[in-house]
Copies of this chain bind each other. A is one copy, B any other.
């Protein structure tokens, strides 16, 4: 039986994970942010098997996260570049880096630093702000069904809500 697909799940997280959620993909994207473009560089830097790397890069190209360019016409040699869609994964990587720094490495042991290329200064923890620009504490955040929610999502939310209500009455 194949891996369960998240395609039909009506959820941005599930659908995003369908494209970038397997073991290697985000590391390949990270490597591309380091400036890596060649197959062999990805392979050596990550220690990934070549067949798997081939699969992943094909998948990423098919999903428009990487663009594959021939180095010279007539020569079968390629370079892989992030597209706008791929570069837009940066906040996901930053969020993961910051979580890992905080909970797995601890202050002062960060293996990676995220900086502003112009000012050359380190960046601060990601901020979640409301539409008016006011910062919102992560504990204040809630998920709610959006305009594209399905009946199923709405039902699950309603169930959870009534459950919590019942629990708070007791």
Contacts and interface: CB of A to CB of B under 8 A. Distances in A.
Interface of A: 3-4, 6, 10-17, 19, 21-23, 26-27, 30, 33-36, 41, 45, 47-48, 85, 87-105, 108-119, 121-124, 126-133, 136, 138-150, 153, 156-157, 160-161, 163-164
B33 A4 contact: no
A48 B164 CA distance: 23
A96 B13 contact: yes
Contacts of A87: 138-139
Contacts of A93: 13
A131 B141 contact: no
Number of copies: 2
Given A17-B96, A123-B130, A146 B12 contact: no
A127 B126 contact: yes
B118 A124 contact: no
Nearest to A110: B146
A141 B115 contact: yes
Contacts of A141: 90, 94, 114-117, 123
30 contacts: A6-B27, A11-B100, A11-B111, A11-B112, A12-B99, A12-B100, A12-B101, A13-B96, A13-B97, A15-B105, A16-B99, A16-B100, A17-B27, A21-B26, A34-B160, A35-B160, A36-B160, A85-B103, A87-B138, A89-B99, A92-B92, A94-B128, A94-B141, A110-B146, A110-B147, A114-B142, A114-B143, A117-B142, A123-B129, A123-B136
